[in-house]
Amino acid sequence: MGNALLNKDLYNKLLTVSCRLLGLGSRFLLTFLLTKEISLEFQGEYTLVSTSVALMIILFGFDFYVYANRLLIKQKNRDVFFFKNSLVFYSFSYLLLFPFIWFTTKNFDVIDVGSFWTLYFLIVFEHLGQELFRSYIAMRKPLFANLLLLLRTGSWAGIIVFALFFIQGFQISIPEILRLWLFFAISTCVLGISFYPNIKSFVQEKIDFKWIRKGIGVGLTMFMSTICLKVIEYSDRYLIAFFLDKTELGIYALYFQLANLINVIIFTMYISFIYPDIIQGVHEKSRDITLKAMKNIQKKTFFIILLYAISSIVLIPVFLKYIGRSELYPNIPIFYILLTAFLFLNLNFSYHFVIVGFEKETLIFKATFLACVFNILLNTLLIPLFGIYGAAFALLAGNFVLFLVKRKYGKNLMDQWR
């Protein structure tokens, strides 16, 4: 019986990782093929658009999910209540998004994104799809969560990759990419809602504005933290575009995507399975459960990044030879700088979820704000001096500061149990 359960758990993990890697692989290959078959400039434009969509999702999502998903883990059989009341909050957020996107598309035309409606509904359904993914993770259904993620992020990218690879002379525009992306974002939401546990009781479930107001309070603190974190993650791209050019941005984005693979692998294989145990362990005041889960994340993070770094020594030259862009070869060290940055980013999560479990969101904000200020100062100073290498070192420094501060806060909180 024990072996059967172990085999089932391993099987589910392998399927989960396969779904995530298929989706990630499609986006990853899209980055390479846009560079190879179209241009580095087009890849830079695509990076700015996709980054902007991601930032809009963060801005109007308000990190309300932190409050709802923490309760999903701690309180059983209230999933539809949390889902419905979260949707009520998000409905107001989507209304605020409307004039913002309208103003942006009418007054800023640096890149042609096509229809206002396409961009607006893409952000809405991408956000809703992301929240469904997070909810299924919190409900300990990572396999279905990653099936939804594959449909939302991998399907449309896979179609474009297929066309670029097999159809000679195939060309695509940014508006066409966004329309295809939107179709699969909508499909994901329909599927995710259809299979949501106890969804038939959705209409009968009450709306609790007191619960929503409390969630806004928690979300506000985490929202500010996320803004700081995303500034660390994305500001370098805008500053590269400002100080340098889109070709340099394309080179940096390519290596960023390559290094970013490890974040997805680690989250999919380990963090998504383990982080509910950390929050549950804190909730039950169990030092043993919490430490075991934290150490598991840390050990697996070191092992996978080391394995990935060794493998990349062989794989990166193969990828670059396939792309055939000579300007990429001198910049290979950027990949290893970014990979080190992501080592510290993933190590910080073991302490991050301890702080979330203790419901000390203000400590997360203090840590991310400090790291954000440090990162922006370094980006502004180093990019004009050292180009895209300066951006990579600034990201490394910001993530290292984030890790150190959260480590300090997490240990201080756990010391209360002694």
Query: Is the distance from CB of 262 to CB of 28 less than 8 angstroms?
Result: no
The helix/strand/coil state of 394 is helix
Chain position carrying tokens 């479990």: 357
Same domain, 85 and 195: yes
Q: What is the CA radius of gyration of the chain?
A: 21
Which pLDDT does position 192 carry in this prediction? 96
Backbone angles phi, psi at 310, to 5 degrees: -65, -45
Closest CA to 196 of 268, 151, 140, 132: 132
Closest CA to 180 of 167, 207, 194, 162: 162
Q: Which of 154, 186, 207 is the last residue of a domain?
A: 207
Q: Enter the DSSP assignment of 207.
A: P
Distance CA 116, CA 93 (A): 17
Write out pLDDT tens, residues 182-226.
Answer: 999 999 999 999 999 989 999 999 999 999 998 888 888 888 888
Same domain, 200 and 329: no
Q: Count Cα atoms within 13 angstroms, Cβ side, for 71.
A: 18
Chain position carrying tokens 């974190």: 229
User: Residue 238's pLDDT band (boundaries 50, 70, 90)?
Assistant: confident
Chain position carrying tokens 């560079």: 35
Same domain, 4 and 130: yes
Closest CA to 112 of 46, 31, 18: 46
Q: Which of 207, 231, 262 is the last residue of a domain?
A: 207
Q: pTM value? A: 0.74
* pLDDT above 80 for 28: no
Identity of the amino acid at 345: L
Write out pLDDT tens, residues 124-145.
Answer: 999 999 999 999 988 888 889 9
Distance CA 262, CA 240 (A): 23
State the total domains in the chain.
2
Same domain, 198 and 253: no
Closest CA to 39 of 223, 182, 173, 203: 173
Quote the domain boundaries for residue 29. 1-207
Q: Could you tell me if residue 225 is inside a domain?
A: no
